[in-house]
Structure 1
Amino acid sequence: MTNLKAHHVRITTFIQATEDEDKVLEAIATFIPEEIDEEDVLLDVSETTGFFGNSIKVVNVEIKRSRAVRAFLKHFKELLSEEDKKYILEHLDEKVDEEGTLYVRFNKQKAYLGEAEVDEGPDVIQVKIKVKAFPMRKEAVVKAVREWLEE
């Protein structure tokens, strides 16, 4: 069994003034497995102003502890449909940056319903996984993620 290793995971989304903050936080919770201890999930909500003066909250969740990151990765892979895995694999080169971070965006509305659906639209939850690979090069990360998802 190929296990992907990661340094940390970050989950980010925006809460528009018209959205219910509790519902958006519930959507994010779809990606966090129940077995992760609450103290291993760092939540930060900050407020900013949008282009037209509207209030926007930025939600950042970070998971750093290795046990929690492993639990997250297992849960993350289980959430992905075969179709979404295929999509990620087809676009893997553009989903991994030079620092070895895998970026996957999910539909925020579907996440609120407890479903993970990859989405490239504007209203998304972004999951960033800082992958461990040796040597730490984009090609090594792409290979590691490919092997993990194809399994």
Structure 2
Amino acid sequence: MSRVVSVEASVFSYATEDEKKVERALFNLIPEEVIKPSLRVERLSGHYRDPLLMIRGRVTDRGLAGEILRRLVEALPPIDRERLIQEIGDRVDEANNLYLRFDKQKAYHGRVLLSEADPIRLKFKFSSCKDHVSAIKSHIASIIEDLKD
């Protein structure tokens, strides 16, 4: 069985956004006390030279990383849980990473929804195993199954 080893988070804060609100959206997905010590802010320029911030953080405690994944999957609406299971092959790479993107605006308001547009990106690193896609799918499915009990 594959286990979560770490989670990396990244999110853009655009010139029209309040950096603190973007951080709050991230903290609503990963508790502030867990991710804040590792947060780094990189100042970038957008396509039209507009100011842009990249906010990144990482959790390397296996127990915490696994609990973050569990909590997020549990918070997803049923339709997004089903979508996650269906798309697992597209969300896992050869290096045992699971990529999830969450709606930044909804996260700010405390809701957890998958989204591809202007997301908070989370990369969950899993321990190595032979059939990593199936193992990660089984891990996610077991979290969902536990919700039914």
TM-score, normalised to structure 2's length? 0.85
Counterpart of 2:133 in structure 1 is 139
C-alpha distance in 2 between matches for 1:87 and 1:33: 25
Alignment-mate amino acid for residue 94 of structure 2? E
Tell me the SS of whatever aligns to 2:29: coil
Counterpart of 1:16 in structure 2 is 14
Counterpart of 1:128 in structure 2 is 123
Tell me the SS of whatever aligns to 1:26: helix
Tell me the SS of whatever aligns to 1:8: strand
The one-character-per-residue Cα deviations of 1:96-128 (angstroms, maximum 9, x if unpaired) are 11111111111111000000111122x111111
Contact 1:133 1:140 in 2 (8 A): no
TM-score, normalised to structure 1's length? 0.84
Which of residues 54, 64, 67 in structure 1 aligns to 2:50? Answer: 54
Q: More helix by proportion, 1 or 2?
A: 2
Which of residues 86, 89, 94 in structure 1 aligns to 2:90? Answer: 94
Q: Percent identity?
A: 28
Q: Structure 1: any 5+ residue segments left out of the alignment?
A: none
C-alpha distance in 1 between matches for 2:66 and 2:111: 20
Counterpart of 1:106 in structure 2 is 102
Q: Structure 2: any 5+ residue segments left out of the alignment?
A: none
Distance 1:126 1:114, change over 3 A: same
Which of residues 11, 25, 28 in structure 2 aligns to 1:27? Answer: 25
Displacement of 1:147 in angstroms is 3.2
Contact 2:88 2:137 in 1 (8 A): no
Greater than 6 Å deviation, 4+ residue runs? none
Distance 1:82 1:41, change over 3 A: farther
